[in-house]
Amino acid sequence: MKLTLSALLIFVTTFCSAQMKQVFYFKNNGMPVNVADSSDYIRVVTPPDSASTLFNVAEYYRNGKVKLMARSTTITPPTFEGQCITYSPEGKRQAVLSYADGVLLGNSYIFYPNGKLYLMFNSDTVRTRSFEENTRILTCMDSTGKELVTEGNGHYIAYDAVTHTISEEGDIKDGKHVGEWRGNYPAEKVTYNDTYQDGKFISGYCTTATGVKYTYTNKNQTPEFTGGTPTFIALVKKKVKLPATLKGKATQIFLSFTVMKDGKVTNPTLLGSLSPEADKAIMAAVNTSPAWKPRIQNGLPVDTSWGMPINFGAVTPAAKSK
Residue pLDDT, tens place only, 210-264: 999 999 999 889 999 999 999 999 999 998 888 887 777 788 889 999 999 999 9
The CA distance from 41 to 269, in Å, is 17
Q: Within a domain: residue 114?
A: no
Residue pLDDT, tens place only, 23-56: 999 988 888 888 888 899 999 999 999 889 999 9
Q: Within a domain: residue 250?
A: yes
Q: Which candidate, 154, 124, 160, 123, places its Cα nearest to that of 141?
A: 154
Task: Indicate the number of domains in the chain.
Answer: 3
- Domain check: are 29 and 52 in the same one? yes
- Domain check: are 213 and 297 in the same one? no
Q: Within a domain: residue 288?
A: yes
The CA distance from 72 to 102, in Å, is 8
- pTM (2 d.p.): 0.77
- CB neighbours of residue 77 within 10 Å: 14
Q: Within a domain: residue 159?
A: yes
Name the β-bridge partners of 32.
Answer: 26
- Domain check: are 1 and 99 in the same one? yes
- Domain check: are 239 and 275 in the same one? yes
- Domain check: are 212 and 234 in the same one? no
CATH number for the domain spanning 281: value is 3.30.1150
Q: Within a domain: residue 118?
A: no
The CA distance from 179 to 225, in Å, is 34
Q: Within a domain: residue 76?
A: yes
- Domain check: are 235 and 211 in the same one? no
Q: Which own/partner pairs from 239-245 qualify as long-range (CB within 8 Å, at least 24 positions apart)?
A: 239/281, 239/282, 239/284, 239/285, 240/274, 240/278, 240/281, 240/282, 240/285, 240/312, 241/277, 241/278, 241/281, 242/274, 242/275, 242/278, 242/312, 242/313, 243/274, 243/275, 243/277, 243/278
Confidence of residue 1 (pLDDT cuts 50, 70, 90): very low
Instruction: State which H helix or E strand residue 179 sits in.
Output: strand 176-185
- Domain check: are 134 and 213 in the same one? yes
Measured in whole angstroms, the distance separating CA 145 from the mean position of its chain's CA atoms is 29
Give the domain-ending residue among 170, 194, 217: 217
- Domain check: are 87 and 54 in the same one? yes
For 22, 90, 143, 302, the CA distances from 72, given in Å and listed in that order, are 13, 25, 32, 32
Q: Within a domain: residue 53?
A: yes
- Domain check: are 212 and 233 in the same one? no
Q: Within a domain: residue 30?
A: yes
Residue pLDDT, tens place only, 147-197: 999 999 999 998 876 667 788 999 999 999 999 999 998 888 999 999 999
- Domain check: are 161 and 97 in the same one? no
Q: Which own/partner pairs from 157-161 qualify as long-range (CB within 8 Å, at least 24 positions apart)?
A: 158/183, 159/118, 160/186
Structural domain of residue 65, as residue ranges? 1-104
- Domain check: are 245 and 204 in the same one? no
Give the domain-ending residue among 217, 252, 277: 217
Give the domain-ending residue among 217, 241, 262: 217
